[in-house]
């Protein structure tokens, strides 16, 4: 019995020490001590003047700006978008120089006028990639096509994802360009959503000369629970379809919103304009997913979905307050909600869990499992139905080690009983 007690004591000590050194589950949280900045510039400046036909040199540099930086950081994913109006700028093919291992792309937007330049990187390995504190990601040239004043080349949708699951939104900057040349000067016309919760691609009418009249476009922004009421130019509000006379300056139109009245339920109660799926109702087809994909109600949240093989756990109260729905699609699990910014939930697979936090203004996110076993959240920034931009990443860890410890504990206990058994047999044989 003394030997058995010793075995149990040592087994307990080994188990306690092992738990101290267990790898922890990666958490999706923003570290406030780390910050980054996409330094976007033309000829080294934020404002630049060029003549018609002149080539303008642009540069995009990623800088780590927090204090006490250690000389490098570990990168898992990174993205930035540069948007230009092709009526006033022409991209010089082959002028781009891109940092090694980074991806470059350029294509027209749906309006056929603006162009999007993208530079990004996704590191599939679990250890990420070492990146210096300052790195020139992209340099390229644009040609000035016609006279324009204060036309911005916009840098936005910029993110840096460093340690597994930690996403940082950088500050980013735009470059304002003035082109001089023959003919009338055109001034930029810009449309903005008017609220940080509004999302969507802004409409475009191009630059206008002083005195030009044009029709204000339809609203292309969306804001959950609100109705669009017009465009405000800084002095008054106009309706979409109104005629507007261009002044001799750049004009920024800001979308104006009115909150929708609450909906009345058949029982007389008030409901939210956008509701999550009731707890006890059977799964129904989600309107935001392809036909045939079913919304996962909270009764089976946390269980592996049919296609994805993993599940999500979201606090019921948060789910109801934010109008969140969960649906499985071929690529993974689809989340949609009134407000996903700061949403925290758990990704569950094979009894193991990892916490993920979203930091996005988008209303829809796709969670999918990556080849290395980690999980990433992706958004569809350009509204083309393709979730092609990662915003968060977590790796499930720690639980597998617990299983190994459990197995080890069973082995140690079995060995202890065998030792005691054979010791007794030996004493009985020689007694």
Under DSSP, the state recorded for 110 is T
Q: Please give the chain's pLDDT, 431 residues, in tens.
A: 555 556 566 666 655 554 444 433 333 344 556 778 889 999 999 999 999 999 999 999 998 887 777 677 788 888 898 999 999 999 999 999 999 999 999 999 878 888 999 999 988 777 788 888 899 999 999 999 999 999 999 887 778 887 655 667 777 789 999 999 988 899 999 999 988 788 877 888 989 999 999 999 999 888 888 999 999 999 999 999 999 999 999 999 999 999 988 765 445 544 444 433 333 333 222 233 322 222 233 333 443 443 457 888 888 788 878 888 887 766 778 888 888 888 888 888 877 788 888 888 888 888 888 777 788 888 887 766 677 788 888 877 544 444 555 666 777 777 777 776 777 777 766 66
Instruction: Give the pairing type, strands 352-357 and 344-349.
Output: antiparallel
The domain ranges of the chain are: 26-182, 184-260, 277-400
* CATH code 2.40.50.140 for 184-260: no
User: pTM here?
Assistant: 0.55
Is the fold of 26-182 the same as that of 184-260? yes
Measured between alpha carbons, how far is 376 from 385 in angstroms, rounded to an integer? 17
Closest CA to 405 of 10, 7, 9, 15: 15
Edge-to-edge order in the sheet of strand 226-232: 189-192, 251-259, 226-232, 237-238
Closest CA to 199 of 388, 29, 380: 380
Rg (CA), the chain: 29
Question: At which residue do the structure tokens 């999980």 appear?
Answer: 375
Closest CA to 340 of 320, 319, 358, 356: 358
Per-residue tokens: 297: 């109600």
Give 26-182's CATH code, choosing from 3.40.920.10, 3.20.20.80, 1.20.1250.20, 2.60.40.680.
Answer: 2.60.40.680
Per-residue tokens: 65: 């700006």
Per-residue tokens: 361: 């203004």
Query: Within 10 Å of residue 328's Cβ, how many Cβ atoms?
Result: 23
């Amino acid at each position: 019995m003394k030997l058995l007690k010793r075995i149990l004591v040592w087994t307990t000590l080994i188990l306690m020490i092992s738990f101290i050194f267990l790898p922890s589950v990666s958490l999706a949280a923003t570290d406030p001590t780390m910050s980054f900045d996409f330094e976007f510039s033309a000829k080294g400046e934020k404002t630049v003047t060029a003549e018609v036909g002149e080539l303008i040199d642009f540069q995009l540099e990623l800088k780590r700006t927090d204090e006490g930086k250690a000389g490098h950081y570990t990168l898992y994913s990174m993205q930035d978008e540069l948007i230009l109006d092709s009526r006033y700028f022409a991209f010089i093919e082959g002028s781009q120089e891109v940092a090694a291992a980074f991806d470059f792309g350029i294509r027209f937007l749906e309006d056929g006028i603006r162009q999007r330049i993208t530079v990004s990187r996704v590191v599939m390995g679990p250890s990420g990639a070492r990146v210096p504190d300052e790195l020139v990601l992209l340099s390229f040239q644009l040609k000035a096509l016609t006279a324009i004043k204060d036309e911005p080349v916009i840098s936005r949708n910029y993110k840096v994802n460093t340690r597994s699951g930690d996403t940082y939104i950088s500050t980013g900057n735009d470059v304002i360009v003035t082109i001089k040349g023959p003919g009338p000067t055109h001034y930029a016309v810009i449309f903005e959503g008017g609220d940080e919760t509004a999302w969507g691609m802004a409409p475009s009418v191009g630059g206008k000369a002083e005195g030009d009249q044009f029709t204000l476009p339809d609203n292309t922004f969306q804001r959950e629970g609100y109705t669009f009421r017009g465009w405000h130019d800084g002095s008054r509000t106009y309706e979409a379809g109104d005629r507007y006379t261009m002044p001799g300056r750049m004009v920024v139109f800001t979308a104006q919103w009115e909150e929708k009245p609450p909906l009345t339920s058949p029982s007389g109660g008030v409901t939210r304009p956008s509701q999550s799926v009731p707890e006890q109702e059977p799964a129904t087809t989600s309107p935001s997913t392809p036909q045939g994909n079913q919304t996962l109600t909270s009764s089976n949240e946390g269980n592996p979905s049919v296609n994805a093989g993993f599940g999500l756990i979201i606090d019921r109260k948060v789910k109801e307050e934010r109008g969140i729905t969960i649906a499985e699609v071929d690529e993974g699990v689809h989340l949609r909600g009134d407000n996903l910014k700061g949403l925290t939930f758990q990704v569950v697979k094979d009894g193991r869990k990892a916490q993920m936090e979203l930091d996005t203004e988008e209303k829809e996110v796709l969670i999918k499992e990556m080849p290395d076993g980690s999980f990433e959240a992706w958004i569809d920034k350009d509204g083309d139905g393709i979730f092609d931009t990662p915003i968060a990443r977590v790796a499930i860890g720690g639980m597998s080690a617990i299983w190994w410890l459990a197995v080890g504990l069973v082995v140690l206990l079995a060995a202890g009983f065998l030792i005691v058994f054979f010791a007794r047999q030996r004493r009985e044989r020689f007694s």
